[in-house]
């Protein structure tokens, strides 16, 4: 009896689409150019109002790898979940429709998954900033903290490297579909920053997860400021950010490992706060009140002075905890205007940062003192 050759494992790529007619073709071309993998591409048009769906239709065919699913607009999380429901592959990955997957990325991720038997694998990324030729053109910028988290190939448990919880992105990872389903994973719906709760659950539930140092994703930073992560000054954005931070922290707390929780609270949960702190000058009353409430809730028992923020923003965090709006705004304005790290001043307790715009006699010493590795 003759048996046919066993088909290669299939990788399902879920691509949510909403009003990205200028970007989606480049995204799909980069996915379809991936070699060494059997691809199924599920594009979910989330009620686009532009020509996005028409652009996708050029790639779709009954016998081809690209399928287009149309839904009413329900947001990114719902679109991803809809795509997963249509996916039939052995492996599952995601791509946002304004980004690009560099050549060989899926092959690298799949090889690490199959070599190690991990439940999922994550790779490094670069920021892709597009610009006109007379302004230097496109720039690919590595993220130092991502390179640190992806130094070498490895297969780990979360207790061995809890800081990797800071790699919250959906689209630089490949999951075994049976792990995804068995762990009950899905993306939160109706809220922004849905990546963090789900990826946190994945790390905590994985028997082993894999890491590769390769850059497997180019994250486009839109020059027009229209992406979700470029709208931090809005009240809704901050509300959503606190919601997803609470969800992720609840998962880590339930995991029950004190070391993991401390690293998560200090180095991961606080990691992006500086992006909100720079919005303090000129913010409205409601936004400031929400910022203070969230910081006090999440770090009330363990001040942001313990966090992995830079010295200047640890001070801003302490001022937010104390509800000192004018001082926080003054420090942020000074730091941003300076454009470089604050000067160091020697004291009997060790060096501290120089902050001439506020009265440091009213500030806790731990909020301005430098750590040993910052001298």
Instruction: Tell me how crowded residue 341 is: count the other CB atoms within 10 A of its CB.
Output: 12
Report pLDDT digits (tens) over 265-297.
999 999 999 999 999 999 999 999 999 999 999
> In which band, very low, low, confident or very high, does the pLDDT at 373 lie, cut at 50, 70 and 90?
confident
| Strand residues in 192-237 grouped as ranges (E) | 209-221
Question: Model confidence over 319-361: pLDDT tens digits?
Answer: 999 999 999 999 999 999 999 999 999 999 999 999 999 999 9
Alpha-carbon gap, residue 360 to 2, rounded angstroms: 82
The confidence band for 93, taking pLDDT boundaries of 50, 70 and 90, is very high
Residue 138: its pLDDT value, please? Answer: 80
| Tally of helices (H runs) and strands (E runs) in the chain | 13, 11
Which of 92-96, 232-236, 261-265 has the least mean pLDDT? 232-236
Whole-angstrom Cα distance, residue 180 to residue 88? Answer: 13
Which residue is it, tokens 């066993």? 6
Task: Tell me the fold of 10-229.
Answer: Spore Coat Polysaccharide Biosynthesis Protein SpsA; Chain A (3.90.550)
Q: Coil, strand or helix: which one is 277? A: helix
- 5 pLDDT above the threshold of 70: no
In the predicted model, what is the mean pLDDT of the chain?
Answer: 93
Q: Are 92 and 175 in contact (CB under 8 A)?
A: yes
Are 350 and 370 contacting, i.e. CB atoms less than 8 angstroms apart?
yes
* CA–CA distances in Å: residue 35 to residues 11, 31, 106, 211, 225: 12, 9, 8, 20, 33
pLDDT tens digits along 194-251: 999 999 999 999 999 999 999 999 999 876 554 554 467 899 999 999 999 999 999 9
Q: Domain spans of the chain? A: 10-229, 270-374
Model pLDDT, residue 130? 76
| pLDDT (tens digit per residue) in 170-195 | 999 999 999 999 999 999 999 999 99
**What tokens appear for 340 in the block?**
């470089």
- 370 vs 373, more confident: 370
pLDDT interval class at 49 (50, 70, 90): very high
Per-residue pLDDT, averaged over 128-156, amounts to 85
């Amino acid at each position: 009896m003759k048996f046919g050759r066993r088909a290669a494992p299939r990788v399902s790529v879920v691509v949510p689409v909403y009003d990205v007619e200028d970007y989606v073709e480049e995204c799909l071309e980069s996915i379809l150019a991936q070699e060494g993998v059997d691809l199924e591409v599920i594009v979910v048009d989330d009620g686009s109002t532009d020509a996005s769906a028409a652009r996708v239709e050029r790639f779709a065919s009954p016998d081809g790898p690209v399928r287009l699913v149309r839904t009413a607009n329900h947001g990114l999380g719902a679109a991803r979940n809809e795509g997963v429901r249509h996916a039939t592959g052995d492996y599952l990955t995601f791509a946002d429709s304004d980004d690009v997957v560099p050549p060989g990325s899926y092959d690298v991720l799949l090889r690490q998954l199959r070599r190690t038997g991990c439940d999922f694998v994550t790779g490094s990324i670069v920021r892709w900033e597009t610009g006109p030729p007379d302004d230097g053109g496109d720039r690919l910028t590595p993220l130092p903290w991502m390179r640190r988290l992806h130094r070498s190939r490895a297969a780990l448990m979360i207790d061995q490297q809890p800081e990797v919880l800071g790699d919250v992105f959906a689209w630089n990872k490949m999951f075994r579909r049976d792990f995804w389903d068995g762990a009950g994973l899905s993306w939160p719906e109706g809220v922004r920053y849905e990546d963090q709760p789900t990826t946190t659950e994945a790390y905590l539930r994985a028997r082993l997860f894999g890491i590769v140092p390769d850059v497997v994703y180019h994250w486009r930073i839109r020059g027009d400021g229209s992406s979700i992560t470029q709208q931090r000054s809005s009240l809704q954005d901050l509300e959503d950010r606190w919601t997803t931070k609470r969800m992720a922290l609840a998962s880590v707390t339930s995991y029950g490992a004190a070391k993991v929780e401390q690293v998560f609270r200090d180095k991961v949960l606080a990691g992006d706060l500086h992006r909100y702190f720079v919005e303090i000058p000129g913010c409205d009353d409601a936004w400031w009140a929400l910022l203070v409430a969230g910081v006090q809730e999440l770090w009330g028992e363990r001040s942001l002075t313990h966090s992995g923020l830079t010295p200047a923003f640890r001070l801003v965090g302490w001022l937010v905890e104390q509800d000192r709006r004018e001082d926080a705004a003054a420090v942020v304005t000074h730091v941003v205007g300076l454009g470089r790290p604050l000067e160091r001043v020697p004291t009997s307790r060790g060096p501290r940062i120089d902050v001439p715009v506020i009265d440091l006699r009213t500030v806790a010493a731990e909020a301005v003192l430098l750590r040993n590795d910052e001298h």
